[in-house]
Chain A
C-alpha cells in the first residue's frame, strides 16, 4: 500500500507571511508527484506535475521542489493572501501507471 504523508495537517498564518508544507512519498518506483489546490465547496485544481529529481516549479507566489531520491516535496507560498486559504494536496504516481494516491492534505488558513 502506497503511503503519502503531508505535514502539517493544518496551518494558520497571517497575511503577508511566507509558508511551506511537506509531502513525503515512496522513493522507489517513482514516476510523478502532483500538487493540487482544493478550495472549500470546489473541486481540486492541479497546481504542479513534477517528474524529475531536483525539479522546481513556480506559479505566481507558489512554488514547489522535488527530491525523488529521499522521497519528499515542498510547496512554498510567498506573501500569503486570504485567497490562498485552501487545502493543498500532494499525490504520488508510480511507474506502474496506477492512479494517483493522494495525501490527506494540508489545510491553510490565511488571516487578514
Chain B
C-alpha cells in the first residue's frame, strides 16, 4: 500500500506541451506539497495546500499550477513546458505543522 503515490514516474515531452503530474495520498493527511529537485539535488518548495490555504512560492512561474480535487489529491499542471523545467518533482504530505512529511517516489520530467 503506497502512502504517497505519484504518476507518472517518468515523463518525457517536447517543449511547449502542457502536462500534468498526479499525486495521491492515503494517509488522511491535511496538507500536501510539491517540491522540485533542482540540478544541484536541492529540494525547493513549489506549493503547499490544505483545504483552507494555498501557499505559493513566488519564484515559481505561473505556468505551474496546483489543482486539488479533494484532500487526498494534489496534481501539478505545467503549461508551455520549457527545457529548464526538466527536473525531478516530489509530492509530499503531512498532518501539518510539526508533523514529518511523507514523500512520493518522485517524477522525473525531461523536456526535449
Contact = CB atoms under 8 A, between A and B. Distances in A.
Interface residues of A, number: 22
B90 A104 contact: no
A58 to B, nearest CB: 16
Contact of B40 (A46, A51, A98, A104): A104
B48 interface: yes
Contacts of A51: 98
Interface of A: 31-32, 34, 36, 42-46, 49, 51, 87, 89, 93, 97-102, 104-105
Interface of B: 33, 35, 40-45, 48, 55, 90, 96-106
Contacts of B33: 99
A97 B41 contact: no
Contact of B102 (A46, A49, A97): A46
A32 B98 contact: yes
B96 A102 contact: no
Given A31-B98, A44-B103, 6 more contacts: A43-B106, A44-B43, A46-B101, A51-B98, A100-B101, A105-B41
Contacts of B106: 43
Contacts of A99: 33, 45, 48, 55
B109 to A, nearest CB: 16
B105 A42 contact: yes
A43 B98 contact: no
Contacts of B43: 44, 89, 102
Q: When A and B form their complex, which 6 residue pairs have the shortest distance between CB atoms, in order from nearest?
A: A46-B100, A43-B103, A99-B48, A102-B43, A99-B45, A97-B97
A32 B97 CA distance: 8
A93 B98 CA distance: 8
Nearest to B100: A46
A105 B41 CA distance: 9
Contacts of A89: 43
